[in-house]
Each structure stands twice: as structure tokens, then as C-alpha cells.
């Protein structure tokens, strides 16, 4: 290691940003060289992408420029795409740089990719809620199809939207669509009852793993708003006309959005780390097995609870991991000991549009406007962590 240790953080998502915020708060100038690499010049709030996807909020509310939240005296930002990671050589290859980046410590927070479970045609024909670019496409596509319904032959599939997967993301997206429909239908002169919103889930329940009372509340509310649920019904194929369900039923839909699962970023597997669905089972300090200087966090990592079950990938665990890695790196740089990571589940909240939500905070179940208020407060809290009151005021009320 040279005189000034070099820390490279890959990905400016929840885990990467929390690492950077922790490092820049606690590091003295010149204590280490810190480099952040991200493919976009902005950090986006993955947890809010369902809103611009449905068109209920502008995508500007779901992103913030990285240069506005980092301290350039302590962190160097490189906007580039990671092409490959070579942990044996302690090097990272970027698309637009001939020279590889070298590091003493590497933090990988490159997020997830859609898991399509081998469903035929899904990758080619469905939309995915992944990033700002992908959700802009979804919103534009839905609007285009509504315009097409008016302008050409009025084919029902133009105004039929299928959402594959009724987990957290799927339900939040459907909830947003419900809120968007009245204004969209008004704009395109289409009676609301003509539009079909269909949520399809392979598991025997909506929101698998959620409290049954909360699930019932969510389903009842969304059904009252006209959402059709097809539960216990795997999608077998997706093509340009729509989806085919197990058993052969076809649903014609011009818009199919897949939210049915995620896996770790493919770069992790390609780097040679041992993975389960693209995620690395990290040690108690969040390091990759066999590489003491490589930390893997967020959706790329796999952490188990006391019963031996993996925690689902969430922003909550990702940001706690980022914070812990920052603390441990500082401790290492100063010759101290690392502390093991323990996830502290504060609660779970799922929105059902802009004014309704469900969730569990501690042991308490919350519904309706209370849950919605808490969800909103949580979004503002993230803005505060990133950029204090000025960022809350700039982005929190768009
Ligand atoms: C619609 C939706 C709603 C959600 N709601 C919630 C919620 O309410 N609560 C919750 O806790 N979790 C929620 N989640 C899950 C949560 O968003 C993720 O678990 C979390 O974002 C993971 O953080 P991360 O740091 O691992 O990855 P991300 O936040 O996805 O960040 C990864 C970063 O890496 C960058 N990147 C990727 N590949 C490259 C590359 N090759 N080169 C350079 N940069 C790259 C990306 O651009 C991105 O900036 C939701 C997810 C979705 C999609």
C-alpha cells in the first residue's frame, strides 16, 4: 500500500452513497484517496422509480446530481461505466478509460439486474423499472399507447397494462398507476372503465412475506380502484402482443412491466466471485470470501438473519451496510478493529399510490394516510442524509 491508501467505491446507489457520505464526514483531508465511480452523473432513488414510471411525479424528484452531495476535496467522482472487476489484480476496468483503476480497498455497490426466471420473451418484450432512463420509457410508452387508441382503431390491448410480479415493487407501481389513470384518461378522452390494469403473481399471495392483514388491506383497496389480480398464475411467455399464462390463457397487452424479481449485477459473477442469483454471501464485515480488501454491499450482497434466511435486498439494508463499511474502513486506516455488520430492521412500508400505504414499524402495523405519511417522511430523511436541509427543500416537495 502506498503512502495514501486508495479507496474505490463502485456505484452511487443507496449503499455506495452511504459509504461515500460516511467517509467524507469522518475522514481527515489527505487521510485517503477516495474515488466514486458511477455510470450517471446523478444518484437516483430506486425506491421512488415507480412514481415517474407511472407518471405521477416528475423524474427530477427521483434523482440528485452527485456533484451536489460530495465534497470534492475528499472524494473524486468519475462518471463512467464499470466494464470489469479483476480482484486478483486489484483492478477495475472502465469503459472510457484505457488505464484500469487500481485500489487498496474496493467497495462494490453496483445494485441489481432484473431476474426473468427464464420466462420466454420477457427480456425482449417487457419493460423494467430499473433506472431513470427505463422509467421515462415506461411513462412515454403508456402515453403513446393511449394516444394510439384514440388515433387508430380502438384496440383494447393499447390500454391494457400488465404488471408481472405483485411483490413490493409491483404493488407500489400498480398503486401509482391507479392514481395516474383519472388524469390520463381525461387527457386522452378515454373512459376509465375501458382501461385494464392487471397484476399477475406466480406465488399464492400478493406481497409474499408481508403480514396477511396488510396484504388483505392492499388487495381490497387496489381491487376497489379497478385492479385485476391474477394470483398463483405464472407467466410463461411474453411477446409483442402480451403475455401467455400457465395453462395457455393469453392476455393481450401493449404494455407489460416486469417487477418479478432481481439478481445481483452480472459484473459480480463475471469477476469470479462465488454467487447465488448474482449475489455474494459476504462475511460478517461484508467482505467477499477470499478478498480481505473487497467489500460487497447492497443488492449485490447476501446477508443471512439468525434463522439462516437471506434478508431481502432493500434500500434499508443497503444504506446500513454502506454506513458500516465507511466506519470499518476508517477504523482500518487508523489501525483499529472492524465491527461486524448487524442489520437493524426499522420497519417496512409499501405505498399504494400517493395517499395510501401499508407497513410495519417496529411491531406496529400501519395503514392508510398514516403509513403514507411515514413513507414520505422516510423519503425526506434520505434527502436529509444526502444533502441536509437544502436538498430536502430543493427535491422533497417537487
Ligand atoms: C420501484 C422500487 C421500489 C422500491 N421500494 C423500496 C422501499 O420502499 N424500501 C426499500 O428499502 N427498498 C426498496 N426498493 C429496493 C431498493 O431500491 C434496492 O434494494 C436498493 O436500491 C439497493 O441499493 P444498491 O446500492 O445496492 O443499488 P442501487 O441503489 O440500485 O444503485 C446501484 C448504482 O450502481 C450504478 N451502476 C450499475 N451498474 C453500473 C456500472 N456498470 N458502472 C457504473 N455504475 C453502475 C447504478 O447506476 C446505480 O447508481 C425498491 C426498488 C424498486 C425498483
User: pLDDT tens digits for 309-324?
Assistant: 999 999 999 999 999 9
Confidence of residue 3 (pLDDT cuts 50, 70, 90): confident
What pLDDT is recorded for position 109? Answer: 98
Whether the predicted pLDDT of 259 surpasses 60: yes
Confidence of residue 188 (pLDDT cuts 50, 70, 90): very high
30: left (phi over 0), alpha (psi -120 to 50) or beta: left
Query: Which residue CA neighbors atom 20 of ligand 1 most closely?
Result: 315
Q: Which segments within 31-159 are labelled E, that is strand? A: 33-38, 42-44, 63-65, 75-79, 82-86, 91-94, 101-102, 105-108, 112-114, 127-128
Phi and psi at residue 296, in whole multiples of 5°? -120, 125
> How many whole angstroms separate alpha carbon 34 and alpha carbon 330?
12
Rounded to 5 degrees, what angle do the CA atoms 316, 350, 342 make?
Answer: 20
Q: Residues 263-271: what's their mean pLDDT?
A: 96
User: Could you tell me the distance, in angstroms and rounded to a whole number, from the CA of residue 337 to the centre of ligand 1?
Assistant: 29
Q: Residues 65-91: what's their mean pLDDT?
A: 97
Whether the predicted pLDDT of 191 surpasses 60: yes
Cβ of 52 below 6 Å from ligand 1: no
172 is a catalytic site residue: yes
Whether the predicted pLDDT of 213 surpasses 70: yes
Confidence of residue 140 (pLDDT cuts 50, 70, 90): very high
Q: Are 196 and 230 in contact (CB under 8 A)?
A: no
Query: Which residue CA neighbors atom 50 of ligand 1 most closely?
Result: 47
Cβ of 40 below 6 Å from ligand 1: yes
> How many whole angstroms separate alpha carbon 129 and alpha carbon 260?
10
User: Could you tell me the distance, in angstroms and rounded to a whole number, from the CA of residue 44 to the centre of ligand 1?
Assistant: 8
User: Could you tell me the distance, in angstroms and rounded to a whole number, from the CA of residue 296 to the centre of ligand 1?
Assistant: 14
Query: Which residue CA neighbors atom 37 of ligand 1 most closely?
Result: 110
Pairing of strands 357-361, 364-367: antiparallel
User: Could you tell me the distance, in angstroms and rounded to a whole number, from the CA of residue 46 to the centre of ligand 1?
Assistant: 5
Which of 2 and 324 is assigned the larger pLDDT?
324
Cβ of 265 below 6 Å from ligand 1: yes
Q: Among 13, 81, 302, 319, which is best to mutate for testing ligand 1, by the most ligand atoms less than 8 A from CB?
A: 13
> How many whole angstroms separate alpha carbon 394 and alpha carbon 262?
31
What pLDDT is recorded for position 397? Answer: 86
> How many whole angstroms separate alpha carbon 233 and alpha carbon 244?
10
Phi and psi at residue 16, in whole multiples of 5°? -65, -45
Catalytic residue among 172, 176, 201, 293: 172
pLDDT digits (tens, 9 = 90+) for 280-311: 999 999 999 999 999 999 999 999 999 999 99
User: Could you tell me the distance, in angstroms and rounded to a whole number, from the CA of residue 45 to the centre of ligand 1?
Assistant: 7
Atom of ligand 1 nearest to the CA of 350: 8
> How many whole angstroms separate alpha carbon 296 and alpha carbon 278?
12
The pTM assigned to this predicted structure is 0.95
Which of 4 and 139 is assigned the larger pLDDT?
139
Q: Are 218 and 366 in contact (CB under 8 A)?
A: no
Cβ of 39 below 6 Å from ligand 1: yes
Query: Which residue CA neighbors atom 3 of ligand 1 most closely?
Result: 47
Confidence of residue 1 (pLDDT cuts 50, 70, 90): low
> How many whole angstroms separate alpha carbon 269 and alpha carbon 342?
25
Neighbour-count burial for 189-219, b at 16+ CB within 10 Å, e otherwise: ebeeeebbbbbbbbbebbbeebeeebbebbb
User: Could you tell me the distance, in angstroms and rounded to a whole number, from the CA of residue 112 to the centre of ligand 1?
Assistant: 7
Amino acid at each position: 500500500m502506498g503512502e495514501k491508501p486508495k479507496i474505490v467505491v463502485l456505484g452511487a446507489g443507496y449503499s455506495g452513497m452511504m459509504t461515500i457520505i460516511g467517509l467524507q464526514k469522518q475522514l481527515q483531508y489527505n487521510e485517503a484517496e477516495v474515488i466514486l465511480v458511477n455510470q450517471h452523473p446523478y444518484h437516483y432513488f430506486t425506491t421512488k422509480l415507480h412514481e415517474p414510471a407511472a407518471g405521477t411525479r416528475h423524474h427530477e424528484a427521483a434523482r440528485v446530481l452527485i456533484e451536489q452531495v460530495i465534497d470534492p476535496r475528499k472524494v473524486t467522482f468519475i462518471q463512467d461505466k464499470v466494464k470489469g472487476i479483476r480482484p486478483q489484480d486489484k483492478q477495475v476496468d472502465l469503459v472510457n478509460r484505457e488505464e484500469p483503476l487500481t485500489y487498496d480497498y474496493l467497495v462494490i455497490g453496483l445494485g441489481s439486474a432484473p431476474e426473468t426466471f427464464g420466462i420466454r420473451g420477457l427480456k425482449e418484450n417487457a419493460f423494467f423499472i430499473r433506472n431513470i432512463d427505463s422509467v421515462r420509457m415506461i411513462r412515454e410508452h403508456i402515453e403513446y399507447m393511449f394516444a394510439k387508441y384514440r388515433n387508430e382503431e380502438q384496440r383494447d390491448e393499447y390500454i391494457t397494462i400488465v404488471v408481472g410480479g405483485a411483490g413490493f415493487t409491483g404493488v407500489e407501481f400498480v398503486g401509482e398507476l391507479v392514481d395516474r389513470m383519472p388524469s390520463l384518461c381525461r387527457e386522452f378522452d378515454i373512459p376509465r372503465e375501458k382501461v385494464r390494469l392487471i397484476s399477475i403473481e406466480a406465488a399464492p399471495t400478493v406481497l409474499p412475506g408481508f403480514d396477511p392483514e396488510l396484504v388483505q388491506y392492499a388487495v381490497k383497496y387496489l381491487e376497489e380502484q379497478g385492479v385485476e389480480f391474477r394470483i398463483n398464475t405464472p407467466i410463461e411467455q411474453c411477446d409483442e402482443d402480451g403475455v401467455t399464462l400457465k395453462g395457455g390463457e393469453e392476455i393481450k397487452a401493449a404494455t407489460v412491466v416486469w417487477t418479478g424479481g432481481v439478481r445481483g449485477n452480472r459484473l459480480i459473477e463475471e469477476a469470479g466471485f462465488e454467487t447465488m442469483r448474482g449475489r455474494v454471501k459476504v462475511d460478517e464485515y461484508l467482505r467477499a470470501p477470499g478478498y480481505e480488501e473487497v467489500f460487497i454491499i447492497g443488492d449485490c450482497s447476501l446477508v443471512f438473519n439468525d434463522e439462516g434466511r437471506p434478508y431481502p435486498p432493500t434500500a434499508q439494508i443497503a444504506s446500513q451496510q454502506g454506513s458500516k463499511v465507511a466506519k470499518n474502513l476508517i477504523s482500518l486506516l487508523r489501525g483499529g478493529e472492524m465491527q461486524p455488520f448487524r442489520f437493524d430492521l426499522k420497519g417496512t412500508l409499501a405505498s399504494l399510490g400517493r395517499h395510501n400505504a401499508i407497513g410495519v414499524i417496529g411491531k406496529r402495523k400501519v395503514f392508510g394516510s398514516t403509513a403514507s405519511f411515514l413513507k414520505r417522511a422516510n423519503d425526506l430523511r434520505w434527502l436529509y442524509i444526502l444533502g441536509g436541509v437544502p436538498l430536502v427543500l430543493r427535491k422533497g416537495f417537487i
